[in-house]
Amino acid sequence: MILKTIGWNNEWEKHFNLMKDELRNTGKEETEYIPGRIKTVFKDQYKILTENGEVDGITSGKMSYEFLYAAKYPTVGDWVILEENSHGPSRIHGILPRKGVFQRQEAGGSLEAQLIAANVDQCFIMQTYGNDFNLARMDRYITLAWNSGALPIVVLTKADLAKSEVIQEMFNRVNKSFPEIEVISVSALTGQGFEEFQKRLTPGKTHMVLGSSGVGKSTTLNRLLGKVAAKTKEVRESDQRGKHTTTHREMYLLDNGGMYIDTPGMRELALFRNEGMEESFQDVIKFGMQCRFKDCSHKDEPGCEVQNALEKGELSADRLKSYQKLLNEKKRERSREIRLQKKRSKEKIKKNKVHYKDFVRNG
């Protein structure tokens, strides 16, 4: 395999050589290291693409000991430095600096981030022309993409099931909320609009798809690859929701030289970072900058241009509600970050602490 076909370039080469020299300075002068890119993650095991083909991988003991939280571990799309092993899994000794990472808040009240993918250039945000269409959820997906440094593109799927007036109405709603973002209409089943979609799959770039279950992600992947790489299931007629057919994230190499990361459906998306709100809510922020007071909450203050835009129909109430909800989550980030730092500090102390019984045993 030629590494350039999976995104390798001079910048990655420079980072790899620096990391390799650093590892050899720690006493492993004779070890041969090679670069690889994470294709699939299964808990603590990895499928990795290298110049010698696909290999299995695990993190080194040093990495497993030193990494105190999940976001430090490799994820799909990461470039890593490997020590090959012909008798078993290759060992991952480090992750090359990421140029961007998709992460969301872990479920269940956890303080940690759950990594989705790294080093993504474009993110296709899929929703259907049906009950799945939800601008508030689209706000979150788009903010997530901007946070990661990827370019978001909205893809409205199952166009074969929608009437022309419905397609036009939804196009207009997306364009009004996100005027700077490209919108594509496709049907992976019939091929309608698929040529336009494929034009956005740039050779040498990494693309990822996000969306709920049942929006057509697996059908789209199968059509791109020309084979059944992902299982598909019927959606419920009542709400057009599907079951999770994709159970893990995986990166595929397309015929044109682009990379395509398929992901499981995500109905709930709690953002871990909200830095991308400025790009996602340009319309709300534009009106807000014209308010009489700089700290305007956009509720009942005099001279509020956001409320004025609502009255004129230039801004929807749902759009403002979505903005305020994400803004409140952003304000809670600092508190969560402090608690997470305390948790990591305790774990670090616990790992480095030498108990008396261990001292006696080793003495």
Residue 334: pLDDT band with limits 50, 70, 90: low
Q: Dihedral (C-alpha) 126, 147, 259, 75: value to the nearest 10 degrees?
A: -110
Asked which of 67-81, 91-105, 274-288 is least confident by mean pLDDT, the reply is: 274-288
Q: What is the mean pLDDT of residues 238-267?
A: 73
Q: What is the pLDDT of residues 193-212, one digit of tens each?
A: 999 999 999 998 999 999 88
Indicate whether 157 and 204 sit together in one domain.
Answer: yes
The CATH number given to whatever domain includes residue 326 is 1.10.40.50
Indicate whether 193 and 233 sit together in one domain.
Answer: yes
Q: What is the pLDDT of residues 280-325, one digit of tens each?
A: 788 888 888 888 888 888 888 888 888 888 888 888 888 888 888 7
Indicate whether 82 and 110 sit together in one domain.
Answer: no
Contacts of range 328-331, beta carbons closer than 8 Å, 24 or more positions apart: 329/270, 329/271, 329/274, 330/274, 330/277
Q: Which of 79, 217, 211, 98 is nearest to 144 (CA)?
A: 211
Q: Would residue 298 be called left, alpha or beta, if left means φ above 0 and alpha means ψ between -120 and 50 degrees?
A: left
How far is Cα 341 from Cα 206, in angstroms, rounded to an integer?
32
Residue 211 half-sphere exposure, CB side, CA atoms within 13 Å? 30
Is there a domain that residue 28 lies in?
Answer: yes
Indicate whether 179 and 132 sit together in one domain.
Answer: yes
Asked which of 47-51, 108-112, 260-264 is least confident by mean pLDDT, the reply is: 108-112
Q: What is the pLDDT of residues 130-172, one digit of tens each?
A: 878 888 888 888 888 888 889 999 999 999 988 889 899 998 9
The whole-number pLDDT of residue 338 equals: 59
Indicate whether 246 and 120 sit together in one domain.
Answer: yes
Range of the domain at 314: 281-331
Indicate whether 189 and 80 sit together in one domain.
Answer: no
For 201, the 3-state DSSP assignment is coil
Indicate whether 135 and 247 sit together in one domain.
Answer: yes
Q: What is the pLDDT of residues 207-247, one digit of tens each?
A: 999 988 889 888 899 999 887 665 555 544 444 444 545 56
Number of domains making up the chain: 3
Helix (H) or strand (E) holding 165: helix 164-177
DSSP code of 98? P
Joined tokens for residue 273: 């970072």
Indicate whether 255 and 116 sit together in one domain.
Answer: yes
Indicate whether 87 and 21 sit together in one domain.
Answer: yes
Indicate whether 205 and 320 sit together in one domain.
Answer: no
The CATH number given to whatever domain includes residue 12 is 2.40.50.140
Indicate whether 170 and 207 sit together in one domain.
Answer: yes
